[in-house]
Structure 1
């Protein structure tokens, strides 16, 4: 009898540990967004571009084509897309592009975006002077918005042996549901116990 009770207790511990692991992994997928943002801005990892800084210095003869990609995390009930597929631009020239987002849920939903560029080696030459990344965006049911991105590509790219032969750059945004909004909507609750205790998602700043 004692051995059966001991086995039952061990089984319960295993089940609880498994639920806790799954819950932790789901929660971290939300909480990792601001941590990833800070890490990338500090290190330039994964093609993270430069934000803020000086204005575009003025166009030179060399051109590149900037492509625009959009992704949405499965937890976020939004339609998110680039308003244009690609834009040819001179190095040093100020560029302007737009993304569109629409909330397809019947409740308000809050999302936050991360971004990178590929090839990753171009990240240090790609400057965004204004964008919607890392700032929480709340869309009402059925609401759609256009979000501008202002950018320029440093002419120094053409002098760098590692980047001078690159003629196409892809700017990629991925929208996630914020941790706080996912908790309010019960998205995390179904993953198991303890997820709701992870706290709210901090707001990253540029």
Structure 2
């Protein structure tokens, strides 16, 4: 009986920890096309742009946006693309408008393509996975500060990669029984990374 109770407690504890641990793993490794959010990458020497040359051309970062069918928001990037050098930080903006007559909470997930660029795509500041409450009819600007890590240049598998798509998808959100913010319509305990939709990139 004691062993059964202990097993149940361990399984429950693991299930509660699985989502934040998986999210941290994705952010630290770039798994599943998740851009890096490791603060150790933000040292001063990493944020110095490399010199442009024949072998080190600017990388085109394109921006895509989509709102789920359950979220009556208009969600668009303010710029189509930005060209950056490895190590060069860049600021981009998205715009979200609540088209309904009710206040709504949204939450965004994201990914980058090609997926292999994810370990080198670092976000310094981002609105993803944070509660975004928009009043009825309200419009807000959502910033993202990012850079492509300088180690990108030393990876042979990155040769020929000069075009990146950063895709954000906004979902209507609610608080689950643990108090965590989750997309509406997603089963409890499923991480939003698992439902990212690269096919929505336009």
Question: Do both share a fold (TM > 0.5)?
Answer: yes
Matched, 1:127 2:147: no
Q: Which runs of 5+ in 2 are unaligned?
A: 1-18, 183-202
Aligned mates of 1:45, 1:113 — CA distance in 2: 18
Q: How many residues are paired up?
A: 156
SS at match of 1:162: helix
Across the aligned residues of Structure 1 and Structure 2, the Cα RMSD in angstroms comes to 2.4
Aligned mates of 1:179, 1:151 — CA distance in 2: 28
CA offsets 1:47-98 (integer angstroms, 9 cap, x no match): 1111144152333312100000101111111100100111111111111100
What residue in structure 1 maps to residue 177 of structure 2? 199
Preserved CA contact (<8 Å) 1:116 1:171: yes
Residues 84-163 of structure 1: matches in 2 within 5 Å? 84-163=79-158
Residues 156-195 of structure 1: matches in 2 within 5 Å? 156-180=151-175
CA offsets 1:132-159 (integer angstroms, 9 cap, x no match): 0110100001100111110110122122
Aligned mates of 2:181, 2:61 — CA distance in 1: 28
Query: How far does residue 40 in structure 1 lie from its aligned partner after superposition?
Result: 2.9
Q: 1 or 2, which has the higher helix percentage?
A: 1
TM-score with structure 2 setting the length = 0.70
What residue in structure 1 maps to residue 35 of structure 2? 49
> Structure 1 residues 34 and 84, CA, compared in 2 at 3 Å: closer, same or farther?
farther
Aligned mates of 2:28, 2:85 — CA distance in 1: 27
Aligned mates of 2:177, 2:113 — CA distance in 1: 33
TM-score with structure 1 setting the length = 0.68
Aligned mates of 2:51, 2:32 — CA distance in 1: 27
Q: Which runs of 5+ in 1 are unaligned?
A: 1-32, 181-197
Aligned mates of 1:106, 1:92 — CA distance in 2: 43
